[in-house]
Chains A and B, each alone.
Chain A
Amino acid sequence: MSLLDVTDLTKHYPVRQGIVVAKQVGTVRAVDGVSFRIERGETLALVGESGCGKSTTARLVLRLIEPTSGTVRFDGQEVSGAALRTLRRRVQVVFQDPYASLNPRLRVGETIAEPMEVHGIGDATSREARVQELLRLVGLAPFHAQRYPHEFSGGQRQRIGIARALAVQPDLIVCDEPVSALDVSIQAQVVNLLKDLQRQFGLSYLFIAHDLAVVRHMADRVAVMYLGQIVETAPKADLFAAPRHPYTQALLRAIPHPDPRRRGQVTPLGGDVPSPMNPPPGCRFHTRCPFAQDVCRKEEPVLRDIAAGARVACHLAETLPPFAVDSGDGLSDIATRRLALYAAAKERRASGVG
């Protein structure tokens, strides 16, 4: 039994016009029939460009908004009524903007203790001890409990958000772009922290991101969304080595590599994402797809099994030319050697030698 089982989830927003009598003139299909599962201890990454519905999906899973249709089952139970209370404890969230998601008037200790109070866990003394423990866990110091959010840097604030999410010992944490607002060096610290915590507590993550390199580092499985639908889902290694959907391929081709030797390999995808109010008929990607044929313009492809653990929504998946991934050489030898020295020197300092 999967920890989280999402079936055919849909969220439509009516578009109304008129001042006195508002008339519905259309529907924005923000999420349009999304299904996925997350196993215990697993990280599923939901990737896609802005407006693809990945954040709406996260909010639906958290029940911050009501779905139009579809079901969310958590640990075998359909989420509604009494089960919602359980979900509120066992599923936590870390948001993108670490400042907006912290109450500026609460001390950090109060912020971290709040979820425990809400769920009636422990008493004041035990909660305080737990706050100290959580602060240490995320790499902050116990005295930080007395400080206010504005006294912290962006990376530290995100650590506070993670400590708050961990407070009630959740099974699943929904991470909505948790490192997108952070500088690269800080981003790396937070990514490392999330991975350490997962190992330590057997957490599952629903990891929402647009940065495929971060996703490659974090995820076990990846689901790619386009215009409210999942177009491809596969284990991480497969998805990056042999992406099957033309949209996934286009995403991977669009990323510039931190390697000047690979300059000029970036291939832009033409056009813009169509409006979700008026998605194209047939395959939603056909307006930008270099391989589109008649069938793509008429029939909507369903997400179907194509290999072990891999599903794709493309009529032509079997006949597409193989995706030539130039895997690159990674870092240069000199850079690799120096990075190893850096890591060793850092290790020595951390252990107090040298």
Chain B
Amino acid sequence: MTPLLEIQGLRTVFRSANGDIAAVDGVDLTVPRGRTLGIVGESGCGKSMLSLSVMRLVPPPGRVAAGRVLLEGRDLLTLSTAEMRAVRGGQVAMIFQEPMTSLNPVHPIGLQITEAMRAHDPRASAAELRDRAIAALERVRIPAPARRYDEFPHQLSGGMRQRVMIAMALACKPKLLIADEPTTALDVTVQAQILDLLRDLQQETGMSIILITHDLGVVAEMADEVAVMYAGRVAERASARDLFGSPQHPYTLGLLGSVPRLDEDRERLLAIEGAVPPPFALPQGCRFHPRCPFAIEACTKAQPPLEAIEPGHLAACIRAPVESAVELTP
């Protein structure tokens, strides 16, 4: 069976006085049906720009310069504006980090949900839409949904607002939900509720999820497949089990070493030296090499290809696995 979504050679650039600057630079990814792909990385790695590229919502002066985004074999990048509008909120829906800024503060939430439904089903009657919106609120486990229908965003807690966003996103039964840091602004106990809800809804509907996050805990909890991004490129791609069980790319190792754990006492965290380079000042060769303790001269020359280190486990590092790299260094 073909995967639901295939991203091939995606390149998203921003025009500047010094030529094009690539925020996403040659990314290949697949999202299987009914599964969750986690995309992890730090700020500036291109993970949010990647999801906006899939939705064709890259803000100008940015644009998708190359690549294909195949949804069930159909390239979204070649669709007309009208066709793409039908895809957004229809087959592909998106939720963002800050539910307050994504909701309109002057309209009751019920109206905002029915608005999305009406756009995709103009012939439905008002009463029918109202019933469907209340059912949608009920599905995301909002208590007393009929009463909440007439409330305004400011009357809801942060967790409730994110539930409303999810209800809106799922109103037209999308095949793919893109969740960009959906729980980052929420408290841990509320985050746990939302993650639980997303997992249940995925079971019910069989939708695929792209989960974008910086939190390795959230990825480990939710994702089937994981892609680690660094400076606009995929550094490592594997199943969640393999990625955490046998991390290959030095950047992934650095991330794992940087996170304090609840199940281990360490005197010092293994921090990564330096900072993520800005997209207009990317280093030659491997983009991680200035921060990488395993870097050798070859790393400064050519960009390493994303290659299988183990079956189904890809890493863009000529030094992986690092134990063999260390043996080879005198």
In the complex, whether A339 has a CB less than 8 A from a CB of chain B is yes
B side interface size, CB within 8 A: 60
| Cβ B188 vs Cβ A251 within 8 A | yes
Q: Which of B43, B241, B264, B294 has the most CB of A within 10 A?
A: B264
> Does A191 lie within 8 Å of B189, measured CB to CB?
no
Does B246 count as interface, using CB distance less than 8 angstroms?
yes
Known: A256-B218, A258-B220, A342-B270. A335 touches B247 (CB 8 A): yes
In the bound complex, residues from chain A placing their C-beta under 8 Å from that of B272 are 185, 188-189
Please state if A186 and B275 are interface contacts (CB–CB under 8 Å): yes
For the complex, what is the distance from the CA of A153 to the CA of B244, rounded to whole Å?
Answer: 29
A339, B249: Cα distance in complex, Å: 11
Question: Contact between B217 and A256 (Cβ–Cβ < 8 Å)?
Answer: yes
Measured CA separation A263–B275 after assembly (Å): 31
Q: Which of A313-348 contact B (CB under 8 A)?
A: 327-332, 334-335, 337-339, 341-343, 345-346, 348
Return chain B residues, CB-CB under 8 Å to A349: 293
The answer to whether B260 and A191 have CB atoms under 8 Å apart is yes
Within 192-232 of B, Cβ neighbours of A (below 8 Å) are at 192-193, 195-196, 214-222
Binds A, one of B2-10, B64-72, B114-122, B250-258: B250-258
Task: Give the nearest-CB partner of A288 in chain B.
Answer: B189
* Chain B residues, Cβ within 8 Å of A334: 245-246
Which residues of B have CB within 8 Å of A258?
Answer: 216-217, 219-220, 244, 256, 259, 261
Q: Are A185 and B241 closer than 8 Å at their CB atoms?
A: no
Q: List 16 A-B contacts (CB under 8 A).
A: A49-B189, A183-B276, A185-B255, A191-B269, A257-B217, A258-B219, A260-B221, A266-B192, A266-B195, A266-B196, A272-B157, A330-B261, A332-B244, A335-B253, A338-B253, A342-B257
Q: How far is the CB of B63 from chain A (nearest CB, A)?
A: 27
5 smallest A-B Cβ distances: which pairs?
A345-B293, A188-B271, A328-B263, A188-B258, A256-B221
**Residues of A with C-beta under 8 A to B255:** 184-185
A146 to B215, CA, bound (A): 35
Which candidate, B82-90, B145-153, B322-330, is the interface stretch facing chain A?
B322-330
Bound complex: CA A56 to CA B190 (Å): 22
Could you tell me which B residues sit within 8 Å of A by CB distance?
A: 42-43, 157-160, 187-193, 195-196, 214-222, 240-241, 244-247, 250, 253-266, 268-273, 275-276, 293-294, 321-323, 326, 329
Q: Return the chain A residue nearest B42 by Cβ.
A: A183
Q: Is the beta-carbon distance between A257 and B188 smaller than 8 angstroms?
A: no
A216 to B263, CA, bound (A): 10
| B-binding residues in A (CB < 8 A) | 49-50, 153, 155-156, 183-189, 191-192, 195, 210-214, 216-217, 240, 250-264, 266-270, 272-273, 327-332, 334-335, 337-339, 341-343, 345-346, 348-349, 354
| Overall SS of chain A's interface | helix
Is there contact, CB below 8 Å, between B247 and A184?
no
Bound complex: CA A264 to CA B43 (Å): 27
Considering the complex, give the chain B residue whose CB is closest to the CB of A326: B263
In angstroms, Cα B264 to Cα A166, docked, is 30
CA distance A286 to B74 in the complex (A): 53
* Given A339-B253, A342-B250, A346-B293, A330 and B268 contact (CB-CB distance below 8 Å): no
| A163 to B193 alpha-carbon distance, docked (Å) | 39
In this complex, the member of A187, A262, A335 whose beta carbon has the largest number of chain B beta carbons within 10 angstroms is A335
